[in-house]
């Protein structure tokens, strides 16, 4: 399969170009904070509840809040029906996503409580964990949770021996490498970095730099979406 | 939209740089390497000190707060009270002005009763103790209670109580606003209903300017419509 023709990718993007991204803040009435994200073909919704009382009680911590993150794919989110419920993959993604966001939250403000994050993948097209983290981060801010900053995430990878930003499904499935990154853009602190496939050291460094520019663009969109929620209402 | 008092506050998100002057950092901010950043999503206010006013979030009690609570359970010596917070609060039997027996507790406040309390203690693990406000336990037996976000309480009260005065002035109702965002309204049914409607509008438009004028207009229109 040929991925790059005349410098353009299969969906007509440049190697360093993100797919179109759209954030919608506060879409769920009953959640304390929520966010809907469309990232290319991905459609993701995140809901945040809390801080609230911990059930079951034995999970609670005396001096801080606990963070629970559930990544879940809808059975209709992929072409072949996905068997509903947590599987090995989604349990892992839930763990790494929680660890990507956890260090930003000031948990000591809320002893004996929990902050629950639910991420539902409605439609998947590569990079769902990144889209989920981006949505969760905005939903947390929307819920009024104190954080040191927003976490922004995107994937980089390699197709046709070229390092590219934000892979689509075909590039992910048949390409040479896929590397999701999540970071706090302000401090440059990387909180998630996984890799599937092979990159040389030079390619890795090039990919990391490209990923950082992608995260920076995402961060700006997250910020804009949050500001727009209130500005939009004011101009009614 | 008419602009009477221009709100000079800007919307900020966590991690936004607010200032280089660490000495002015106040609530809703954190400092790092001699700079002040926003800790929450809210409105930055730098009129005196630099603080961020939250737009959402859960009520966390502070000693001295006066709140409206709902009894959720009665144990041997405590009333368990829901105060619209992640944490349950307790009022001990001995806080009641008169000495009573454990068996009499349900006569004073039953599960589901609403009352006005004062927060008297909050410890490290967020154990919250309540007492009756001003030594007299006020159980709310009439009227109605609406919940708004605690972040909107200052707006419902208004500058120096202006919004509350306006409501009390235009409507024949008694209003009490708890720090936890619970608001008790007592009066004639039609007035109570209008008060609830207006309070919900204040909550929704809390971040906009010229709100008092709009509310005045709504109250006057509604009043003339009703009669």
The reported pLDDT for the residue numbered A210 is 98
End-of-domain residue from the set B122, B140, B158 = B140
Q: Which helix (H) or strand (E) holds B198?
A: helix B189-204
Q: Are residues B92 and B42 in the same domain?
A: no
CA distance A21 to A103: 25
Residue B120: both structure tokens together = 């008297």
Q: Which of residues 148-177 of A touch B (CB under 8 A)?
A: 148-150
Domain coordinates in residue numbering, chain A = 21-234
The reported pLDDT for the residue numbered B226 is 54
The reported pLDDT for the residue numbered B223 is 74
Tell whether B59 is covered by a domain: no
Whether residue B3 is predicted with pLDDT greater than 50 in this model: the reply is no
Rounded to whole angstroms, what are the CA distances from A99 to A55, A94, B33? 21, 9, 25
pLDDT band at B6 (very low <50, low <70, confident <90, very high): very low
B160-169 pLDDT, tens digit per residue, is 899 999 999 8
Q: Which residue has the tokens 């359970």?
A: B73
Q: Is B206 helix (H, G, I), strand (E, B) or coil?
A: coil
The reported pLDDT for the residue numbered B1 is 38
Q: Do A53 and B124 touch (CB under 8 A)?
A: no
Q: Are residues B136 and B170 in the same domain?
A: no
Q: Are residues B192 and B161 in the same domain?
A: yes
Residue B195 CA from chain centroid, whole number? 16
User: What CATH number corresponds to the domain at position B176?
Assistant: 3.30.1370.10
pLDDT band at B210 (very low <50, low <70, confident <90, very high): confident
Tell whether B4 is covered by a domain: no
What average pLDDT does chain B have? 91
The reported pLDDT for the residue numbered B199 is 94
Please say whether the structural domain A21-234 has been given the CATH code 3.30.230.70: yes
Whether residue A233 is predicted with pLDDT greater than 60 in this model: the reply is no
Please indicate whether residue A49 or residue B226 has the higher confidence score (pLDDT): A49
Q: Are residues B176 and B209 in the same domain?
A: yes
Residue A198 Cα, gap to closest chain B Cα (Å): 34
Whether residue B93 is predicted with pLDDT greater than 80 in this model: the reply is yes
User: Which domain, by its residues, includes B123?
Assistant: 66-140
∠ CA A192-A119-A129, nearest 5°, is: 35
The reported pLDDT for the residue numbered B8 is 54
Tell whether B214 is covered by a domain: yes
CA distance A22 to A31: 20
Q: Are residues B103 and B162 in the same domain?
A: no
User: What CATH number corresponds to the domain at position B85?
Assistant: 2.40.50.140
pLDDT band at A236 (very low <50, low <70, confident <90, very high): very low
Residue numbers in B near A144 (CB within 8 A): 40-42, 54-58, 151
Residue B109: both structure tokens together = 């406040």
User: What CATH number corresponds to the domain at position B44?
Assistant: 2.40.50.100
Which candidate in B3, B7, B15, B214 is best for mutational testing of the A interface (most A CBs within 10 A)? B15
Nearest alpha-carbon partner for A210 in A40, A15, A19: A15
Q: Are residues B132 and B162 in the same domain?
A: no
Q: Is-contact B183 B148, C-beta < 8 A?
A: yes
Residue B20 Cα, gap to closest chain A Cα (Å): 16
Domain count, chain B: 3
Tell whether B82 is covered by a domain: yes
DSSP β-ladder status, A177-184 and A152-159: antiparallel
Tell whether B5 is covered by a domain: no
CA distance A168 to A176: 13
Q: Are residues B155 and B203 in the same domain?
A: yes
pLDDT band at B209 (very low <50, low <70, confident <90, very high): confident
Whether residue A235 is predicted with pLDDT greater than 80 in this model: the reply is no
**pTM for this prediction:** 0.93
Whether residue B5 is predicted with pLDDT greater than 60 in this model: the reply is no
Q: Are residues B37 and B78 in the same domain?
A: no
Q: Is-contact A35 A139, C-beta < 8 A?
A: yes
Q: Are residues B205 and B162 in the same domain?
A: yes
Q: Do A112 and B87 touch (CB under 8 A)?
A: yes
pLDDT band at A232 (very low <50, low <70, confident <90, very high): low
Q: Are residues B221 and B149 in the same domain?
A: yes
A43-96 pLDDT, tens digit per residue, is 999 999 989 999 999 999 999 999 999 999 999 999 999 999 999 999 999 999
The reported pLDDT for the residue numbered B225 is 66
What average pLDDT does chain A have? 96
Tell whether B2 is covered by a domain: no
Q: Which are the contacts of A56, defined by CB distance < 8 A and separation ≥ 6?
A: none
DSSP chain A: ----BTTB-TTS--TT-PPPEEEEE---SSSSEEEEEEETTEEEEEEEEEEEE-SSGGG--SSS-EEEEEEEE-TTSSSSPPPSS--HHHHHHHHHHHHHHGGGB-GGGSTTEEEEEEEEEEE-SS-HHHHHHHHHHHHHHHTT--BSS--EEEEEEEETTEEEES--HHHHHHSSEEEEEEEETTTTEEEEE--EE---HHHHHHHHHHHHHHHHHHHHHHHHHHHHHHHHHHT-
Q: Are residues B148 and B195 in the same domain?
A: yes
A93-151 pLDDT, tens digit per residue, is 999 999 999 999 999 999 999 999 999 999 999 999 999 999 999 999 999 999 999 99
Whether residue B2 is predicted with pLDDT greater than 70 in this model: the reply is no
């Amino acid at each position: 399969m040929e991925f790059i023709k005349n410098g353009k990718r299969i969906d007509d993007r440049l190697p360093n170009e993100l797919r179109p991204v759209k954030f919608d803040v506060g879409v769920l009435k009953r959640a304390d904070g929520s966010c809907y994200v469309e990232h290319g073909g991905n459609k993701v919704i995140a809901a945040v509840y809390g801080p609230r009382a911990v059930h079951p009680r034995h999970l609670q911590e005396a001096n801080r809040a606990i963070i629970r993150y559930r990544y879940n794919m809808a059975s209709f989110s992929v072409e072949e029906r996905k068997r509903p419920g947590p599987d090995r993959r989604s349990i892992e993604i839930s763990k790494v996503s929680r660890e990507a966001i956890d260090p930003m939250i000031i948990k000591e403000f809320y002893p004996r409580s929990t902050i629950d994050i639910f991420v539902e993948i409605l439609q998947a097209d590569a990079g769902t964990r990144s889209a989920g983290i981006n949505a969760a981060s905005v939903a947390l801010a929307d819920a009024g949770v104190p954080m040191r900053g927003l976490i922004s995430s995107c994937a980089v990878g390699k197709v046709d021996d070229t390092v590219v930003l934000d892979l689509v499904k075909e590039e992910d499935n048949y390409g040479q490498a896929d590397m999701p990154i999540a970071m706090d853009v302000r401090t440059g602190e990387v909180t998630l970095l996984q890799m599937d496939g092979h990159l040389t050291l030079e390619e890795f460094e090039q990919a990391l730099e490209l990923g950082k520019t992608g995260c920076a663009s995402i961060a700006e969109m997250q910020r804009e979406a949050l500001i727009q929620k209130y500005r939009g209402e004011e101009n009614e | 939209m008419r602009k009477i008092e221009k709100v000079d506050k800007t919307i900020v998100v966590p991690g936004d740089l607010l200032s280089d002057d660490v000495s002015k950092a106040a609530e809703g901010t954190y400092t790092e390497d001699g700079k002040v950043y926003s800790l929450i999503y809210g409105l930055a206010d730098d009129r005196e000190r630099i603080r961020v006013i939250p737009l959402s979030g859960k009520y966390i009690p502070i000693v001295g707060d006066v709140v409206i609570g709902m009894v959720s359970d009665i144990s041997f010596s405590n009333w368990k009270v829901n105060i619209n917070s992640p944490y349950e609060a307790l009022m001990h039997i001995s806080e009641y002005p008169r000495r009573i027996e454990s068996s009499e507790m349900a006569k004073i406040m039953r599960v589901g009763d609403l009352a006005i309390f004062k927060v008297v203690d909050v410890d490290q693990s967020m154990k919250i103790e309540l007492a009756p406000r001003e030594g007299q336990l006020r159980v709310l037996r009439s009227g109605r209670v609406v919940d708004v976000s605690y972040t909107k309480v200052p707006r419902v009260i208004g500058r120096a109580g202006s919004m509350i005065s306006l409501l009390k002035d235009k409507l024949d109702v008694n209003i009490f606003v708890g720090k936890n965002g619970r608001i008790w309204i007592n009066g004639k049914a039609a007035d109570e209903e209008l008060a609830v409607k207006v309070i919900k509008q204040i909550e929704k438009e809390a971040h906009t300017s010229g709100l008092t004028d709009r509310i005045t207009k709504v109250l006057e229109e509604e009043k003339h419509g009703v009669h």
